[in-house]
Amino acid sequence: MDYKKVDAKDIEFLVSILDENRVFKGDSINNDFSHDEMGGISHMPEVLVEAFSTKEVSSIMKYAYENMIPVVVRGSGTGLVGASVPIYGGIMISMSKMNKILEIDEENLALTLEPGVLLMEISKYVEEFDLFYPPDPGEKSATIGGNINTNAGGMRAVKYGVTRDYIRGLEIVLPNGEILNLGGKVVKNSSGYSIKDLICGSEGTLGIVTKVILKLIPLPKKAISLLIPFPNLDMAIGTVPKIVKSKSAPTAIEFMQREVILAAEEFLLKKFPDNSSDAYLLLTFDGNSTEDIEKAYENVANICLNEGALDVFIIDTDERKDAVWSARGAFLEAVKASTTDMDECDVVVPRNKVAEFIKYTSKLQEQFDVRIRSFGHAGDGNLHVYVLKDDLTDDAWKDKIEEVFEAMYKKSRELKGLVSGEHGIGFAKKTYMLQQYGYEYVNLMKNIKLAFDPKNILNPGKVCE
């Protein structure tokens, strides 16, 4: 790629449209901006700028487009596949300061906000209006812009769907600086190709999201969780298709293993309600009628007991809720803290294939003599499987992770799964996506990329390149 290097003139331009204190270069750029949450892939931007407005983003893009400078956009940097790493240097635009909630519209059940608003702020804000933004990814400090760019799913996808299902409208800046408004506060839309849905999940490669209109729904009045211990993971996960088939419509079905719970206890210095069993299902139910919720969870509790569950804990006190959900929220960090380095596989498989996939990863653990930890969304088939480096040398680790991943993704394809359920392709999973889709499919993606970005300056080297 023949990109122009950022020089003094470019810096001068950036300073002229932003304030001097929003343009960082050289040593004044914090090293954190060279990588995302997973690490592994890393490269420093040549210049880091903070945007305050759509107009600023547009001006920067126009300039970068004319001058052939690569641009990468960054939210909280909580990604796991290197999508926000500026592998060709250039300009990094931080969207963290475009973080205002602009309007709540109760007549249209719509929330308008800037892309840098954090996920945790959204739920808190709308709940005060008795409204609900259902998507619930584990990483609450991610920005909504980041969530849109990975089509993040989270735990409630079983019942409520994923981020895509809650995007009513987007304002975007194209690579050449043009501003487009996609969708709006409308419930239906059949007005030409859905560019909005193409932006969702495009990992910052097609356009820059500068404003968001989210769909809200009425807040369910009641919610309850069940923690259900099983003698082993097979039995726990094997029960899930029976729960789905029972039509009891839980909001979430998570699975977790004892090792991960112990790691979280150690990490948080906080006890989980129970850690005596090998494997657990954690289910939630929500709705407006206690009677309905009770009927649903009794039905599911009975299914679990019939399938060999050891007990059923109702998580109804604030203390228990806090213990369970803070642990669930800390799993990734806890696993990471337990080893020297790790990489993750975020496949999604049909829900009745989860057990087979997890059983296979146990086999791989023995076969390759490597620690593998997993937890995730049993109810929607999206698994987070972590392979841990521990005391392997860098070279041995590089070889091992390649072999283990190769095997895992092959298995996922056999089960008609897909490479990524919610973390995306970014830089790290490009090979596996190509293996899955083949040349023709990925080439079509490349052509779509060129339709948006003929000079290939926006987040180059990601997804399909």
- Please give the residues from 202 up to 231 whose contact with a copy of itself meets the rule CB under 8 A: 202, 206, 217-219
- Contact mark string toward a copy of itself, 393..432, x via CB under 8 A: -----------------------xxxxxxxxxx-------
Q: How far is the CB of 399 from a copy of itself (least distance, A)?
A: 25
Cβ(50)–Cβ(96) below 8 Å: yes
- Contact mark string toward a copy of itself, 298..337, x via CB under 8 A: ----------------------------------------
CA pseudo-torsion sign 45, 47, 50, 53 = negative
CA 281 to chain CA centroid, nearest Å: 21
448 binds a copy of itself per the rule CB under 8 A: yes
350 binds a copy of itself per the rule CB under 8 A: yes
Taking CB under 8 A as the criterion, which residues in 49-68 touch a copy of itself?
none
**DSSP 3-state assignment of 424?**
coil
Taking CB under 8 A as the criterion, the residue among 143, 150, 225, 277 binding a copy of itself is 150
Q: How far is the CB of 183 from a copy of itself (least distance, A)?
A: 8
Cβ nearer to a copy of itself, comparing 26 with 192 = 192
**DSSP 3-state assignment of 293?**
helix
Taking CB under 8 A as the criterion, the residue among 28, 188, 318, 395 binding a copy of itself is 188
Q: How far is the CB of 80 from a copy of itself (least distance, A)?
A: 11
Cβ nearer to a copy of itself, comparing 345 with 370 = 345
* Phi, psi dihedrals of residue 112, rounded to the nearest 5°: -105, 130
* Locus of tokens 């726990």: 236
Q: How far is the CB of 367 from a copy of itself (least distance, A)?
A: 26
* Phi, psi dihedrals of residue 227, rounded to the nearest 5°: -110, 120
To the nearest 5 percent, what fractions of the chain are helix, strand and coil? 40, 20, 40
Taking CB under 8 A as the criterion, which residues in 111-140 touch a copy of itself?
130-131
Cβ nearer to a copy of itself, comparing 181 with 326 = 181
Size of the site for a copy of itself (CB under 8 A): 89
Q: How far is the CB of 377 from a copy of itself (least distance, A)?
A: 8
The stretch near a copy of itself (CB under 8 A) out of 17-25, 172-180, 257-265, 389-397 is 172-180
User: What is the number of alpha carbons within 13 Å of residue 338 lying toward its C-beta?
Assistant: 22
Structure tokens at 398: 């590089």
Question: Cα–Cα distance between 22 and 128 in angstroms, integer?
Answer: 34
187 binds a copy of itself per the rule CB under 8 A: yes
Q: How far is the CB of 214 from a copy of itself (least distance, A)?
A: 14
Q: How far is the CB of 245 from a copy of itself (least distance, A)?
A: 5
Burial of 62 (0-12, 13-18, 19+ CB in 10 A): middle
36 binds a copy of itself per the rule CB under 8 A: no
Question: Cα–Cα distance between 223 and 288 in angstroms, integer?
Answer: 9
Question: Cα–Cα distance between 327 and 392 in angstroms, integer?
Answer: 28
Taking CB under 8 A as the criterion, which residues in 234-253 touch a copy of itself?
241, 244-245, 247-249
Question: Cα–Cα distance between 227 and 321 in angstroms, integer?
Answer: 10
444 binds a copy of itself per the rule CB under 8 A: yes
| Beta-sheet strand order (sheet of 313-315) | 313-315, 222-230, 279-287, 252-257, 372-377, 382-388, 342-345
Q: How far is CA 149 from CA 270, 389, 426, in A?
A: 34, 29, 10
Cβ nearer to a copy of itself, comparing 186 with 396 = 186
164 binds a copy of itself per the rule CB under 8 A: yes
Taking CB under 8 A as the criterion, the residue among 54, 58, 78, 151 binding a copy of itself is 151
Q: CB neighbours (10 Å) of residue 458?
A: 27
